[in-house]
Amino acid sequence: MISNFSGHSALMFAVEGNQRPNICFVHIEKAGGTTFNDFLLENLPGYWILPPQKNAYGWRYEADYLARLRKVIPFQHIGGHQLAAFDHYDNLFPNPLYVSFVREPVSRFLSHVNWKSKQHESTLSDFLQDPKTLNSQCFRISGQRKFEPTRGLIESRPYFIGLAEQFTLSLYMLQKLLGMHHRPFENSNVTSSQKKVYTASHLDSSQLDELRAANQEDVRLYEWIVNEFFPRQVEQLQPTESDLQQFLEESKKYHRQAWFAPRKKLRAAICRIATRLIRP
């Protein structure tokens, strides 16, 4: 455990003694979040994934509702697409740590389109014409589709940002921050290349420019994280190459325990029932 650890922005909190932060995982679609969710479910007691509320785009779990829900589900850590880092979860948890993973915006956008098209729900043209699908990484974090307020929120909260493109390093550093023994992980929800309808290699330069322009706020956010914020976390947490390589090799060989899948389904069912019984 890292004691009296403090720093700028995402790491501006102290972990003292054996007190572990309360993880609030703000899950951005198609950015490695399912793998991270499964890792937390397997390794972090008291972690629960809150289900999305149907037909309520933009809706968020507010702190007062979570306080009522907690009387039924004794969660100590939470994750989901509809968590709100801009809400007052510090009134809910004694030591909240917000976590998100981000991804290069064009790749993430196309991956999201592929996932929707697989369900026959959308096409690339549909996505580009729907403002709800644009600049989603900013929106998930701050509730706004703008870079500046999103950066401001990240800088003003205890926030850890991981990179999907450097998932192993990100998870390794987060475990170090939490004082967890280096526990391996197994990838989840990986789409094979044969099932991808849209990839960057299939688009011409004008189409790629159109995607970047449509998601320019996410592009600014991602570039800031890659060039400034993530290196700051690396500098503060100082991962060693040998330990990181060992963690990577162990994860390549790792498979989850047999109990994991039924336990995940049971917890999901409990959450669905609880959120229906206790309405916002």
Percentage, residues of the chain above pLDDT 90: 46
CB neighbours (10 Å) of residue 113?
Answer: 24
DSSP state of 105: H
Residue 217 pLDDT greater than 70, yes or no = yes
Q: What is the pLDDT of residues 235-277, one digit of tens each?
A: 998 888 888 888 888 888 888 888 889 999 999 999 999 999 9
The residue assigned the tokens 């989901």 is 80
Pick the CATH number of 9-277 from 3.30.70, 3.40.1350, 1.25.40, 3.40.50: 3.40.50
- pTM attached to this predicted model: 0.88
What φ, ψ does residue 277 adopt, rounded to 5°? -75, -40
194 touches 64 (CB < 8 A): no
E-only strand ranges, 6-119: 22-26, 47-49, 77-80, 96-102
Q: Which of 44-48, 154-158, 189-193 has the lowest mean pLDDT?
A: 189-193
Q: How large is the average pLDDT for residues 227-240?
A: 92
Q: Which residue has the higher pLDDT, 111 or 218?
A: 218
Q: How large is the average pLDDT for residues 96-106?
A: 95
Residue 171 pLDDT greater than 60, yes or no = yes
Handedness of CA 36, 41, 46, 51 (dihedral sign): positive
Q: Provide the residue ranges of all domains of the chain, joining segments of one domain with +.
A: 9-277
Nearest to 87 by CA among 37, 142, 33, 46: 142
State how far the alpha carbon of 230 is from the alpha carbons of 13, 149, 150, 190, 227, in Å.
Answer: 17, 18, 15, 24, 7
